[in-house]
């Protein structure tokens, strides 16, 4: 019995109450080797929206759904058991490399997960779902993650999990440090300190990526730099050493308001030459 069988289509269309799991299993088996037919997609879609709201019904026909439908169903998908979430993502990511344009690409999937609101899902559920993506190293390469970060950082407000993703990216791909510095620069221009979680993650990222982050810290407004230096002694001490190793001519290009903040916080370290302090 194939997917175009009139008997199967009639059975699915009029499935008796309580047989949903069996119907889902039958469609799942049929779609393991080939994409679902248009007819079966339409019947399942109709069942889901009109009679059976169980999102598991959509899994066998994922590749036949529209991109908007998949994104709208993501909050429900990621609440399923971890093996099922992984199956859903595998189906999406495997199919995203075909010519079908209605499916999510790897970057679109990860971005969509970041855009799920906390009213739709608990934060831990979303984190677990993003971890499934990060575990697929062959798919989520440095190039893919660069695209994701570039798009997420431009959102307003910046998604709550953004800095966690930045830190995970650096952990997986340390050679992306220079790219991540560009992201941190962009966060400064977007005044990341106005979002508490993003600002907390910004500081943590500066800690993890030092000494790359020292030039970035010098671009902060004085009040934000003071806040960072009061929180973490590692950044404070490292930034002082970085400045002390700088040629005087290069150091002179740093605003005196920034040097004063570092001096005030660093106990007996003179960073501003006496001739410039008048």
Task: Extract long-range pairs of 244-247: CB within 8 Å, 24+ residues apart.
Answer: 244/269, 244/271
Q: Which of 140, 155, 171 is the last residue of a domain?
A: 140
Q: 56 and 82 share a domain?
A: no
Domain extent, residue 98, equals 66-140
User: According to the model, what pLDDT value does residue 107 have?
Assistant: 95
Count of domains forming the chain: 3
In a domain? residue 211 = no
The DSSP output letter for 41 is: H
The DSSP output letter for 15 is: P
Nearest 5°: phi and psi at 149? Answer: -65, -40
More confident position, 32 or 272: 32
Q: Which of 78, 111, 140 is the last residue of a domain?
A: 140
Q: Which of 119, 140, 161 is the last residue of a domain?
A: 140
Evaluate if residue 95 carries a pLDDT over 60. Answer: no
User: According to the model, what pLDDT value does residue 268 have?
Assistant: 46
Cα 95 to the chain's mean position, in Å? 20
Residue 132 to residue 110: CA distance in whole angstroms: 10
User: According to the model, what pLDDT value does residue 1 have?
Assistant: 55
Please report, rounded to a whole number, the percentage of residues in the chain having pLDDT higher than 90.
51
In a domain? residue 131 = yes
**pTM, whole model, 2 decimals?**
0.85
Tokens representing 157 are: 């407000």
Q: 54 and 83 share a domain?
A: no
Segment 175-228, tens digit of pLDDT: 999 999 999 999 999 999 999 999 999 999 999 999 999 999 999 999 999 999
User: According to the model, what pLDDT value does residue 99 have?
Assistant: 46
User: According to the model, what pLDDT value does residue 31 have?
Assistant: 74
- Nearest alpha carbon to residue 221 among 250, 183, 249, 192: 192
Q: 107 and 126 share a domain?
A: yes
Q: What band does 102 get if pLDDT is binned at 50, 70 and 90? A: very low
User: According to the model, what pLDDT value does residue 189 have?
Assistant: 96
Q: 58 and 1 share a domain?
A: yes
Nearest 5°: phi and psi at 244? Answer: -65, -25
Q: 74 and 116 share a domain?
A: yes
Residue 169 to residue 175: CA distance in whole angstroms: 10
Q: 130 and 70 share a domain?
A: yes
Tokens representing 179 are: 């790219």
Q: 85 and 108 share a domain?
A: yes
Segment 234-259, tens digit of pLDDT: 888 889 889 888 888 888 888 988 88
Mean pLDDT of 120-149: 95
Which residues have CB under 8 Å from 181's CB, separation 6+?
Answer: 209, 212, 213, 215, 216
In a domain? residue 168 = no
Q: 81 and 37 share a domain?
A: no
Q: What band does 97 get if pLDDT is binned at 50, 70 and 90? A: very low
User: According to the model, what pLDDT value does residue 277 have?
Assistant: 42
Q: Reduced to 3 states, what is the DSSP secondary structure of residue 92?
A: helix
Mean pLDDT of the chain: 86
Q: 1 and 59 share a domain?
A: yes
Residue located via tokens 């979680």: 197
Q: 53 and 86 share a domain?
A: no
Residue 233 to residue 256: CA distance in whole angstroms: 21
In a domain? residue 58 = yes
């Amino acid at each position: 019995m194939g997917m175009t069988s009139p008997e199967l289509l009639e059975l699915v269309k009029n499935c008796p109450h309580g047989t949903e799991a069996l119907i889902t299993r039958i469609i799942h088996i049929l779609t393991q080797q080939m994409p679902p037919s248009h007819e079966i997609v339409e019947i399942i879609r109709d069942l889901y929206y009109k009679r059976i709201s169980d999102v598991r019904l959509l899994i066998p026909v994922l590749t036949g759904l529209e991109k908007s439908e998949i994104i709208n169903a993501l909050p429900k998908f990621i609440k399923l058991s971890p093996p099922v979430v992984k199956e859903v993502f595998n189906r999406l990511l495997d199919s995203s490399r075909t010519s079908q344009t209605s499916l999510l690409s790897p970057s679109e999937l990860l971005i969509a997960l970041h855009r799920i609101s906390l009213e739709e899902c608990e934060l831990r559920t979303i984190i677990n779902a993003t971890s499934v993506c990060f575990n697929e190293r062959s798919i989520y390469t440095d190039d893919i993650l660069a695209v994701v970060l570039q798009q997420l950082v431009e959102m307003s407000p910046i998604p709550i999990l953004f800095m966690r993703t930045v830190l995970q990216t650096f952990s997986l791909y340390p050679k992306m440090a220079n790219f991540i510095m560009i992201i941190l620069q962009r966060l400064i221009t977007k005044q990341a300190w106005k979002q508490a979680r993003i600002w907390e993650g910004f500081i943590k990222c500066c800690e993890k990526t030092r000494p790359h982050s020292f030039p970035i810290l010098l671009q902060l407004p004085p009040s934000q730099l003071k806040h960072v230096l009061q929180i973490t002694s590692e950044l404070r001490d490292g930034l002082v050493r970085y400045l002390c190793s700088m040629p005087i001519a290069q150091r002179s290009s740093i605003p005196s308001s920034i040097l004063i903040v570092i001096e005030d916080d660093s106990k007996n370290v003179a960073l501003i030459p006496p001739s410039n302090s008048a």
